[in-house]
Amino acid sequence: MTTLVFGHTAPDTDSTGSPIIWAWYLNEIKGEAAKPVLLGEPNTEAAFVLKRWNLDKPEIISDVADDQPVVIVDTNNPAELPANVNGADIRGIIDHHRLVAGLQTRGPIDIRIEPLACTATIMWKMIGKDMAQMPEGVKGAMLSCILSDTLEFRSPTTTQEDKAIAYDLAEQLGVDIGDYAAEMFAAKSDVSAFSDAELLRMDSKEFELPGTKFRVSVLETTAPKMVLDRKDSLMKSMETVAAEDGVDQVLLFVVDILNEEATLLVPNDLVKGLAEKSFDATVEGDTVVLPGVMSRKKQIIPNLKL
């Protein structure tokens, strides 16, 4: 049976590109039938990357059947995976997020989690000398994953390994990193087609402090004004999204990639108190700028306090 390779729901560039990379590796190098799939429509940056490298958009699936062989990449969190994921036959996990107690496997399998910025970087290490056989399009996906997850090396999650591998790939592909990243980020920044609720759910993780559940949403953009001009309706939409998703509060951090800062929307006193305690900020009005904050994983989630 063909193994399905997928990342998390609301696929970003890493969760779109890494399944393509790994399915290529399983098919062409390991001789195991595999197919990349998506758990939703890719975001605008990921859609740009597919087009730029002439890659077919993977099929979108809504769930997995019992006993379906699967490889999971870029997450290990069942909340971001198909409802029946633990009914599937999980054959491998490649990820760079913290381990949450959730997935179970039937036997011992290959699991590789490393504290690197990007899943594709781990795959580069695992593929090793077989990288020589990787076609240009798949290499393009790999470079794109790294530039996306590191925000062109600006994010504090960036490691020397991510950076060195991206430069190596860019040289092989004859790509200017600065120009190409700018095109990617412009694609990601065009959020005009999305509703407020879609924006709030686009890049979002649930997180719980004692007594309060959050949806911690991030929008990485080179055009923060485009999002902040919609702040009134976004704040209104937070209440509906929170109620629908069973959380107490949605937090929206608008990350300004070029200026390396985040703007947090402050719709109420709960978020005001959280912003002041978590980021040592003084809040006046309904937004607060957090200088240097770019990474949910490294800078937002670990600091959240009520």
First CA to last CA distance, the chain = 49
Query: 104 or 192, CB closer to a copy of itself?
Result: 104
Residues from 99 through 128 that contact a copy of itself (CB under 8 A): 99-116
In the complex, minimum distance from the CB of residue 24 to a copy of itself, in angstroms, rounded to a whole number = 22
Strand positions, DSSP E, the chain: 3-6, 34-38, 59-60, 69-73, 89-95, 110-113, 204-209, 212-221, 249-256, 261-265, 287-291
Residues from 247 through 306 that contact a copy of itself (CB under 8 A): 297-298, 302
Query: Strand, coil or helix: what is 160?
Result: helix
Distances (CA, A) of 245 to 36, 37, 124, 209, 239: 28, 25, 36, 16, 10
Between CA 169 and CA 166 the distance in angstroms is 5
| CA angle, 240 then 246 then 247, to 5° | 85
Interaction between residue 83 and a copy of itself (CB under 8 A):
no
| CA angle, 84 then 141 then 159, to 5° | 90
Query: 99 or 164, CB closer to a copy of itself?
Result: 99
Query: Quick one: CA torsion of 196, 204, 218, 208, rounded to 10 degrees?
Result: 120
* String marking each residue 40-79 x if it binds a copy of itself according to CB under 8 A: ----------------------------------------
Residues from 85 through 104 that contact a copy of itself (CB under 8 A): 90, 93, 95-104
Buried b / exposed e over 254-286, threshold 16 CB at 10 Å, is: bbbbeeebbbbbbbeeebbebbeebbebebeee
Burial group, residue 73, by CB count within 10 angstroms (0-12, 13-18, 19+): buried
Number of residues that this document lists for the chain: 306
In the complex, minimum distance from the CB of residue 156 to a copy of itself, in angstroms, rounded to a whole number = 12
In the complex, minimum distance from the CB of residue 119 to a copy of itself, in angstroms, rounded to a whole number = 11
Query: Could you tell me the two tokens for 242?
Result: 């929170």
Query: 149 or 220, CB closer to a copy of itself?
Result: 149
Query: 16 or 157, CB closer to a copy of itself?
Result: 157
In the complex, minimum distance from the CB of residue 208 to a copy of itself, in angstroms, rounded to a whole number = 12
In the complex, minimum distance from the CB of residue 106 to a copy of itself, in angstroms, rounded to a whole number = 6
Number of residues that bind a copy of itself (CB under 8 A): 27
Interaction between residue 130 and a copy of itself (CB under 8 A):
no
In the complex, minimum distance from the CB of residue 276 to a copy of itself, in angstroms, rounded to a whole number = 24
Residues from 3 through 42 that contact a copy of itself (CB under 8 A): none
Beta bridge partner(s), residue 291? 261
- DSSP assigned state of 176: -
In the complex, minimum distance from the CB of residue 11 to a copy of itself, in angstroms, rounded to a whole number = 19
In the complex, minimum distance from the CB of residue 134 to a copy of itself, in angstroms, rounded to a whole number = 23
Query: 60 or 79, CB closer to a copy of itself?
Result: 79
- Binding residues for a copy of itself, rule: CB under 8 A, are 90, 93, 95-116, 297-298, 302
